[in-house]
Amino acid sequence: GHSSVCMFSVHSAACVRVCGCPAGVWLAAAVARMNLDGLDSWFKSVFVRKVDPRKDAHSNLLTKNEESNLYKIQFHNVKPECLDSYNKLCEDVLPSIHADKYYPCELVGTWNTWYGEQDQAVHLWRYRGGYPALTEVMNKLRQNKEFMEYRNERGKMLLSRRNQLLLEFSFWNEPVPREGPNIYELRSYQLRPGTMIEWGNYWARAIGYRQHNREAVGGFFSQIGNLYMVHHLWAYKDLQSREDTRNAAWQHDGWDEVVYYTVPLIQHMDSRIMIPMKASPLQ
């Protein structure tokens, strides 16, 4: 900041000496008149960006508060030789938890990754009632002998696993069961910190361009796990249908603008093409 003032002063003095530049004379005089308080005010006006105080967390501004749905997404990397056994194990146990009203949770979908990370399973759960429902389910499952046996057996088949807790964007449809056959694309975006509201503002408009073929399934953002992470879930009949649907979006006025302004918000992005397991409500 100080070097900038010095630079202006030198430039103005040079203008006076060389060409008698009126702008240089004025700037030199202005700098000469600056006292310490004036210099401080000038610094603030140029370099200090005013930030309006936030009235609420971005999660409350973007999500459906009245429904209080919490989601958990799980990524399980399975030993290649164990994938069939793993799928069978999941199909035997997960639907029973989904169907049992004793557990306030629902299996939204369960898939194997087809293109992307190989030998991977992805599970998406919904907890109606938010964090209390999640805690209740976890406590009850610890008392479930069948589930604990499932976890022990599952652990022998995995190379690694990770999860995230998510909220859903208010402008996306809530995921509901659908008939197949479909393939699903999970597009995951790591955003630059501080850009979630901006992303939501653009996609609240953009989602209207992507619902003509019922391809939009759900949109979520992370609360625990990798932060500033967004997941968009899409359904297509096949890969060619995906290509045709995505190309058609460019025919709508405004889609190009959304892409132009949201791409700079992204640090990293990833796409998985997934096939539903037999037990998945999303087929």
The domains of the chain are located at: 69-276
Within 10 angstroms of residue 143's Cβ, the number of other Cβ atoms is 8
CATH architecture of 69-276: 2-Layer Sandwich (3.30)
Q: Copy the structure tokens of residue 23.
A: 């702008």
| Strand spans (E) along 45-119 | 69-78, 106-115
Nearest of 206, 184, 203 to residue 272 by alpha carbon: 184
Within 10 angstroms of residue 274's Cβ, the number of other Cβ atoms is 25
What span, in angstroms and rounded, lies between the C-alpha atoms of 165 and 135? 12
For residue 181, is the peptide bond before it cis, meaning its omega torsion is within 30 degrees of 0?
Answer: yes
Asked if 31 and 8 touch (Cβ cutoff 8 Å), the reply is yes
What's residue 64's pLDDT?
62
Nearest of 87, 107, 88 to residue 97 by alpha carbon: 107
**CA-to-CA dists, residue 262 to 203, 232, 277, angstroms:** 9, 14, 33
Strands 120-128 and 69-78, by their bridges, are: antiparallel
Q: Copy the structure tokens of residue 269.
A: 């992005």
pTM > 0.75: yes or no: yes
**Do you know the residue count of the chain?**
283
Dihedral sign computed on CA atoms, order 184, 198, 162, 174: negative
User: pLDDT averaged over consecutive 10-residue blocks of the chain (283 residues)?
Assistant: 41 40 44 47 41 49 69 98 98 96 97 97 96 96 96 97 96 92 98 95 91 90 96 97 93 90 96 97 98
